[in-house]
Amino acid sequence: MGSTKYVFVTGGVTSSLGKGIVSASLGRLLQARGYKVTIQKLDPYINVDPGTLNPYEHGECYVTDDGAETDLDLGHYERFLDIQTSQANNVTTGRIYQSVINKERKGDYLGKTVQVIPHITDEIKRRVTFLGRKKEYDFIITEIGGTVGDIESLPYIEAVRQLRWDLGVENTAFIHLTLVPYLAASGELKTKPTQHSVKVLLENGIQPDVLVLRSEHELNKDLRKKVALFCNVEQDAVIQSIDVSTIYEVPLLMQEEGLDAMVLKKLKMPFEEAPDLKEWKKFVDRLQSSKKEIRIALVGKYVELNDSYKSILESFTHAGAVNNVKVKVVFVHSEEVSEKNVSEKLAGYDGILVAPGFGDRGIDGKILAVTFARENKVPFLGICLGLQCAIIEFGRNVLGFEDAHSTEMNSRTKHPVIDLMEEQKGITEMGGTMRLGGYACSLEKGSLVEEAYGTALVRERHRHRYEFNNDFLESYKEHGMVPTGINPENGLVEIMEQPGHPWFVGTQFHPEYRSTVLNPHPLFIAFIKAAIENKK
């Protein structure tokens, strides 16, 4: 294998241009040519990780197998590339400063003045090249969060500028994403914002090799020519990224536009042959051709922002394609569900999912949704807090523990059916103190989950503090809510089912973090199957 190639992806003009999807698409295309690829995200905010960020502001926090709380773009990387990412794939300014300051306190800088250049930039460079140190990858794609010109992004831009010289021109490529807005009044597409954005990059010492222009309309030859001329790139290196109905079409469009070929050309690698996208196309075809619709109610409290439940939504898309149905997910705000309106709010759905979450708000609505699903035999999937709600509901309404609760919401309940483990009780800090990442789970023979997975031992990712309180296990088992997934090392309950019900599954872990296009998650597939049955 030759030396590792580094591709840097920056964005200009506005945020939300889909840098993550374009990076993931490029990764997929290179992978489809037989290369080993990984992707990394550099986030310019000062939080050490996104674990403490509000989902309303930042969307879902994605969790990797090694227990890192990361940006949701890592979810796209895993879903598109079917790879496992890790802590090293997400770096924030907070983390960079934390390590530089720790080194300074230890005296590692030998009395030198510690500065943004070179100390912060060196730390950034170390983190970027860290993934390449074992020579496992042919390509490392690094997406730089934020927008060029922001104060926060400057050290990152400077670091990758230096990397071009450290690693060699033929080993580095720069892709810059911008927006080409359409002015309805004059009926024109405008390239000026792109020109300005490239100018800012040039001022910072970076000449982009490829421009990806996000646009609502087709870009014609003349426009591309103009952009190429003003921005100092080849005409074929001006790539359009037009709005599409599903993000999963983007790799196909990027291939048609020649993004991968252009990057390979810049890196002096063979680019003539086309990547093998058979499987991917099959998936996109299924996605677009399924006619039957299945309606799932997603009961949660972060429903104002789609991104808060990103991985769950994508898992449904994958599982729908497998089952040849369109899965329409309807958000039901848990705070708006009351005893009076629950049967009206949840009527007519083929399945109900109670979402993960933290804190007291909206908890009653979630518990009511569980009662509705249990009593009306609607296929049910509870994830993390969703399982905990199912346990509380069963405790209250079947076992007769009137005050059954999680100690997260009621620390004085006489029936703490969900509780902290002893060793967690002293922890007061919020950041990085949960049970995080992959743990083993052994499945009960003959259970719904064993049937779904088709294996006896699985590994799934966690992000929570509280657990089912095993002191109550016997009562639950006796009355028909049974553990069907157990952590083989410590006996913690990971999955519960209600055998009298057509499909009732709650998981303490988050299956949604592991669903990918090429490996859709078995539990989501089985849940949708059950929803289809229910519809019949």
Least distance CB 46 / ligand GLN (angstroms): 24
Tokens at 208, concatenated: 């982009």
Closest by CA to 353, choosing from 323, 306, 316, is 316
Site string for ligand GLN, 343-362 (x = CB under 6 A): -------------xxx----
Give the pair of three-digit tokens for residue 186: 């004059």
Task: Kindly state whether residue 75 participates in binding ligand GLN, applying the rule CB under 6 A.
Answer: no
Which stretch in 68-76, 111-119, 236-244, 461-469 sits in contact with ligand GLN by CB under 6 A? 461-469
Nearer to ligand GLN, 30 or 404 (CB): 404
The distance from CA 385 to its chain's CA centroid, rounded to whole angstroms, is 18
Query: CA-to-CA distance for 13 and 178, rounded, in angstroms?
Result: 6
Q: How many residues bind ligand GLN (CB under 6 A)?
A: 11
Q: In the bound complex, what is the minimum distance in angstroms from residue 230's beta carbon to ligand GLN?
A: 48
Is 384 assigned a catalytic role? yes
- Could you tell me where the DSSP H helices lie in 419-493? 448-453, 473-479
- The yes or no reply on residue 512 touching ligand GLN (CB under 6 A) is no
| The one among 466, 504, 509, 524 contacting ligand GLN by CB under 6 A | 466
Residue from the set 267, 385, 452, 526 that interacts with ligand GLN by CB under 6 A? 385
- Nearest CA to 527 out of 441, 452, 471 is that of 452
Q: Is 77 left (phi over 0), alpha (psi -120 to 50) or beta?
A: alpha
Let me know: does 307 contact 59? Beta carbons within 8 Å. yes
- By the rule CB under 6 A, 55 interacts with ligand GLN: no
With CA atoms as reference, report the closest residue to 485 among 523, 434, 525. 523
Q: Which is nearer to ligand GLN, 73 or 408 (CB)?
A: 408
CA distance 468 to 376: 25
Are the beta carbons of 203 and 154 closer than 8 angstroms? no
53 lies in the binding site for ligand GLN (CB under 6 A): no
- Contact between 405 and ligand GLN by CB under 6 A: the answer reads no
Pick between residue 251 and residue 395 the one whose CB is nearest to ligand GLN: 395
Q: Which is nearer to ligand GLN, 412 or 536 (CB)?
A: 412
Which among 76, 462, 510, 521 is annotated as catalytic? Answer: 510
In the complex, least distance from residue 506 CB atom to ligand GLN, rounded to whole angstroms: 11
The radius of gyration computed from the CA coordinates of the chain, to the nearest angstrom, equals 25
* Selected catalytic residue, list 384, 393, 460, 467: 384
Residue 8 DSSP SS3: strand
Give 78 or 467: the residue with its C-beta nearer to ligand GLN.
467
* Residue 512 falls in the annotated catalytic set: yes
Task: Using CB under 6 A, pick the residue from 464, 501, 514, 521 that binds ligand GLN.
Answer: 464
Q: Toward ligand GLN, which CB reaches closer, 137 or 524? A: 524
Of 251 and 382, which has the nearer Cβ to ligand GLN? 382
Do residues 533 and 330 make contact, with C-beta atoms less than 8 angstroms apart?
A: no
> Min. distance of Cβ 305 from ligand GLN in angstroms?
16
- The minimum distance between CB 363 and ligand GLN, in angstroms, equals 10
Cα→Cα distances 383→120, 255, 366, Å: 39, 36, 12
Q: How far is the CB of 131 from ligand GLN (least distance, A)?
A: 28
- In the numeric block, the tokens 């009306």 are attached to 376
Token pair in block for residue 377: 């035999």
If one asks whether residue 109 binds ligand GLN (CB under 6 A), the answer comes out as no
Q: Taking contact as CB under 6 A, which single stretch among the options 88-96, 389-397, 458-466, 528-536 is the one that binds ligand GLN?
A: 458-466
Closest separation in Å from C-beta 502 to ligand GLN: 24
Tell me how far, at minimum, the Cβ of 333 lies from ligand GLN, in Å: 17
Out of 257, 408, 494, 512, the only residue in the binding site for ligand GLN (CB under 6 A) is 408
With 0-12 CB in 10 A as exposed, 13-18 as middle and 19+ as buried, what is 511?
buried
Q: Shortest gap between Cβ of 464 and ligand GLN (angstroms)?
A: 3
Give dist(CA 504, CA 467) in Å, integer.
Answer: 19
Rounded Cα–Cα distance for residues 48 and 362 (Å): 28
- Judged by CB under 6 A, the chain residues 136 through 195 that form the site for ligand GLN are none
* CB nearer ligand GLN, residue 67 or residue 356: 356
Q: Which residues contact 403 (CB under 8 A, 6 or more apart)?
A: 396, 410, 413, 414, 415
Single out the residue of 353, 323, 379 nearest to residue 530, CA to CA.
379
Q: Residue 312, interface with ligand GLN (CB under 6 A)?
A: no
- The CA distance from 37 to 166, in Å, is 21
CA distances 185 to 214, 308, 348, Å, are 20, 35, 44
Bridge-based pairing of strands 293-300 and 351-354 is parallel
Residues found near ligand GLN in the complex (CB under 6 A) = 356-358, 384-385, 388, 408, 463-466
Active site residues: 384, 510, 512
